[in-house]
Amino acid sequence: MKRVTEIAPGIHYVGANDRTKHRFEGLWPLPHGVSYNAYLIDDERVALIDTIDAAFTERLLGSIREVIGDRPVDYLIINHMEPDHSASIHAVRQAWPEITIVGNAKTLQMVEGFYGIGPVGSGAALEAGMLTVADGDTLSLGVRELSFHLIPMVHWPETMVTYCAQDRLVFSGDAFGTFGALDGGVTDVQLDAWRQTSYFPDEMVRYYSNIVGKYGGPVQRAIEKLRPLLPLAMVCPTHGPVWTSHAFPAVLDLYDRMSRYEPLEKGVVIAYGSMYGNTEQTAERLARELAARGVRRIAMHNLSSSHASFVLRDIFKYNALVIGSPTYNMNLYPEVQALIDDIELRGIPAGGRVFGCFGGFTWAGAAVKKLTEFAGRMGWELAAPPVEVKQGSTPAKTDSCADLAEAISVG
Ligand code: FEO
């Protein structure tokens, strides 16, 4: 058995799994780990597509040597410069000093800025081991020809994809990536990655909503650029499974809908803060009223314990969102404020979505007013008047949850 997975004849997976990092980007929990994917094309000339996180550099170099032995790597093609993919550039260049680093002008400026490797050329000139490529440029490896397609702001300005026409295969950078380590297999078929009980579909929504969610427009433009290349045999992202023609149509559809900010299914997110349980009681009442009206997908998030990344995932996924907050220092509860900041940052439009809110206070109410103002800034209409409770949240004080639930369940 080969010790390095060959995903297609002459194309090898040389990435690594990270099952110990606590938080991706210092922010996002990784309950199923994450993979950093890099690929090696063993042609007349050898090309490495992206590198991997600094913690796994030795594994990358070892996998490459396993495939090509003493032959050199001729090209390092950089689709994306974020350090989880670029941090091993220095080590790769030290291992194969004659290597040519290939990227667009923005990429190569970042190579110099992050790693002090330059000078940077311009046009398609080969100089000082750097090759600058523009949109549509090609590079021959001997048998295969690669072409480069710029997809700026998915989710950095330098992002591009590399296409191999002979294999009908795209190396897509972070596009179509997902959290989740690769347990043994590499392709979606090997991992059975697109089944309902797999963690990849949900982790893809969480990855997209948190990392890429702000950039729906650029993702739409990237998808349009990709369409003439369809159908593809394989799409090779920098995180998660390699998508074959088996699952890629579903993955593309998911990305298309998420980047249009289209809800993926009917369901209600109830996201709330609560100090002593009164606002939580209102949330529970609302959830029961929804369930009584036949709503079967209700995602309850107490924001003191649910990490924002899971809440954002569910907000992208479901068509209804209700936010609740106690009044805290004449403002929103801090965890609720953080959530609405996250939502505003991603600019989620109203289309196809239903919104409601509720709140509590002890002597002067501010939370409901702040949530209503937030809805106004987002251009979201309230499905029903907010539910506002003074002091203890008793059943009698939360009866108007029934009106809110009714409005949402028919929305
Ligand atoms: Fe996986 Fe944008 O880095």
Residue pLDDT, tens place only, 319-359 = 999 999 999 999 999 999 999 999 999 999 998 999 999 99
Q: What percent of the chain has pLDDT over 70?
A: 97
The reported pTM is 0.95
Higher pLDDT, 411 or 408: 408
On the question of pLDDT at 121 being above 90, the answer is no
H or E stretch covering 328 = strand 318-328
Instruction: Kindly report the protein residue whose alpha carbon is nearest to atom 2 of ligand 1.
Output: 82
pLDDT at 198: 96
pLDDT in tens, 46-58: 999 999 999 999 9
Query: 274 C-alpha vs ligand 1 centroid, how far in Å?
Result: 34
Query: 52 C-alpha vs ligand 1 centroid, how far in Å?
Result: 10
Atom nearest to 83 CA in ligand 1: 3
CA angle at 292 for the pair 291 and 293, rounded to the nearest 5°: 85
Residues enclosing ligand 1, CB less than 6 A? 80, 82, 84-85, 174, 238-239
pLDDT at 128: 64
Query: 156 C-alpha vs ligand 1 centroid, how far in Å?
Result: 9
Atom nearest to 173 CA in ligand 1: 1
Query: 84 C-alpha vs ligand 1 centroid, how far in Å?
Result: 6
pLDDT at 313: 98
On the question of pLDDT at 125 being above 60, the answer is no
* H-state helical runs in 143-268: 188-191, 200-207, 216-226, 248-259
On the question of pLDDT at 123 being above 50, the answer is no
Q: How many CB atoms lie within 10 A of CB 373?
A: 11
DSSP string, 13-82: E--EEES--SEETTTEE-TT-EEE--EEEESSSEEEE----GGGHHHHHHHHHHHHTTSPP-EEE-S--S
Atom nearest to 155 CA in ligand 1: 2
Query: 245 C-alpha vs ligand 1 centroid, how far in Å?
Result: 24
pLDDT at 103: 97
pLDDT at 3: 86
Atom nearest to 238 CA in ligand 1: 1
Query: 239 C-alpha vs ligand 1 centroid, how far in Å?
Result: 8
Instruction: Kindly report the protein residue whose alpha carbon is nearest to atom 3 of ligand 1.
Output: 82
Query: 94 C-alpha vs ligand 1 centroid, how far in Å?
Result: 23
Atom nearest to 211 CA in ligand 1: 2
CB 147 within 8 A of CB 167: no
Query: 85 C-alpha vs ligand 1 centroid, how far in Å?
Result: 7
Q: How many CB atoms lie within 10 A of CB 138?
A: 12
Query: 388 C-alpha vs ligand 1 centroid, how far in Å?
Result: 42
pLDDT in tens, 353-387: 999 999 999 999 999 999 999 999 999 999 999 99
- CA–CA separation, 258 vs 263, rounded Å? 7
pLDDT in tens, 201-237: 999 999 999 999 999 999 999 999 999 999 999 999 9
Stretch 164-193: mean pLDDT:
97
Mean pLDDT of the chain: 95
Atom nearest to 177 CA in ligand 1: 1
- CA–CA separation, 75 vs 101, rounded Å? 6
Atom nearest to 156 CA in ligand 1: 2
pLDDT at 126: 43
* DSSP code, position 187: B
On the question of pLDDT at 271 being above 60, the answer is yes
pLDDT in tens, 152-164: 999 999 999 999 9
Query: In sequence order, which residues have a C-beta less than 8 Å from that of residue 60 and are 6 or more positions away?
Result: 14, 15, 16, 38, 51, 52, 88, 91, 92
Query: 302 C-alpha vs ligand 1 centroid, how far in Å?
Result: 29
